[in-house]
Amino acid sequence: MEKLNQKPNFEFVAMMAALMSIVALAIDAILPAISNIGEAIKSTDSRDHQLLVTMIFMGLGVGQLFFGPISDSFGRKPVVYMGFTIFLIASVICLYAPNLEIMVLGRILQGIGLSAPRTISISIIRDTYEGDYMAKIMSFVTAFFILVPVVAPAVGKLILDAAGWQAIFYVQMFFVLVVGAWFWGRQKETLHPEYKIPFTGHVFIDGVKEFVKYKETVAFTLTSGLVTGAFLVYLSSAQHIFEDQYALKEVFPYIFAGLAVSIGLSTFLNGTLVMRFGMRRLSLMATILFCAVALTYSILFLNSPNPSIYVLVGFLSIQFFCLGFMWGNFRSIAMEPIGHIAGIGAAINGFVSTLLSIPIATFIGEFVKDTVWPLFAGLAICGLCALAIFLLVNRPKRRRVVTT
């Protein structure tokens, strides 16, 4: 472990953010092009187009179960290279997909490939830091990572207008090659030989048994899944909401970018405040506010048409500001007790939270047809469930009174 008072290396933070940001690039850059891709693969239902977003998350979840245990046995770096290779092959499949089914297959494989750098970056951080300091590093990494969703839709729109939707996939492939070369040349292996776990058929089973021993790890894995599922509804339906419901096709990338800034700002603030207030207190306060805002919208606009775009963006901005204090801290709390199985631990954490989020997003997304109200109702329900788990696992212990 690094010394807890040692300042993070800027290049390390930027590199970990780059590894994670490829996921955001693969998701957000194609949002302005979803309708164009639908025309190319002869798919006209906008709800089917949500699969191009949600199914990449399925790949992310499944892939982590494979790459996490392998990284604990063979090291972090080889697994990242393996994931990049799968992503490049999957991108070619997407480029030449003749229909929705093949395109969805390509997106799932893209997710599987990207699960390697996403999972391993968290394992590398856990190999290097611990406790609230790990939460601080995670916040800074996430703040850098958020820059990609800020610019990705606008960049995707520029590429779409200039060279067509296929060029977006070529740009993603180029970015992967650049990050891969940087990672190969500058990042050292963080899993020391004495900590490697021999790869056997029992690695995953033993990892699960160890994982479920820790109450907080299980609880905050579930809360991550609930909150991610609610957010995934927004992510998969954002194009439909802003382009179809609000008829704002041209400015959609900029609205999306502005909302991403809200998450980035709170994530950065979390990195500066977490050492003072602690990750549990900050994430609890954010979760309470998250629930309150979603409930307020759900009550105010029940059985009503969509409010003005300014009102919608205002509510979403507050919701996403809360997320910046929740995501990184939830994952850091979950990972804190399981540093001795960081690879398989990060994999199980990511798999369970993703597995939980996809059906939530798919179910709620079916109701986001004519208004945005179902999105906020979903945010409220998921937030309240996450808050209940949070309070249950962190309730104060009663002192036993001994009478004589």
Q: Which run of H or E residues covers position 235?
A: helix 215-239
What span, in angstroms and rounded, lies between the C-alpha atoms of 252 and 241? 9
Query: Would you give per-residue pLDDT tens digits along the chain (404 residues)?
Result: 444 445 567 888 889 989 988 988 998 899 999 989 999 998 887 778 888 988 998 898 888 888 877 888 888 999 999 999 999 999 999 999 999 999 999 999 999 999 999 888 888 887 887 766 777 777 777 766 667 877 888 899 999 999 999 999 999 999 999 999 999 998 889 888 877 877 776 777 888 888 889 999 999 999 999 988 888 889 888 888 998 899 998 888 889 888 888 887 887 788 788 888 888 999 999 999 999 999 999 999 999 999 999 999 999 999 999 998 998 789 888 888 887 777 677 778 888 888 888 889 888 888 888 899 999 999 999 999 999 999 998 875 555 545 54
What span, in angstroms and rounded, lies between the C-alpha atoms of 302 and 34? 30
Shortest CA distance to 121 belongs to which of 171, 148, 150, 84? Answer: 84
In 3-state terms the chain splits into helix, strand, coil percentages (rounded to 5) of: 80, 0, 20
| Main-chain phi, psi angles of 258, to 5 degrees | -60, -40
40 close to 94: Cβ distance less than 8 angstroms: no
What span, in angstroms and rounded, lies between the C-alpha atoms of 106 and 3? 42
What span, in angstroms and rounded, lies between the C-alpha atoms of 242 and 17? 28
List Cα–Cα distances, 141 to 79, 130, 274, in angstroms: 20, 15, 14
* Stated pTM of the model: 0.77
| Main-chain phi, psi angles of 39, to 5 degrees | -65, -40
372 three-class SS: coil
List Cα–Cα distances, 354 to 25, 53, 348, in angstroms: 18, 13, 10
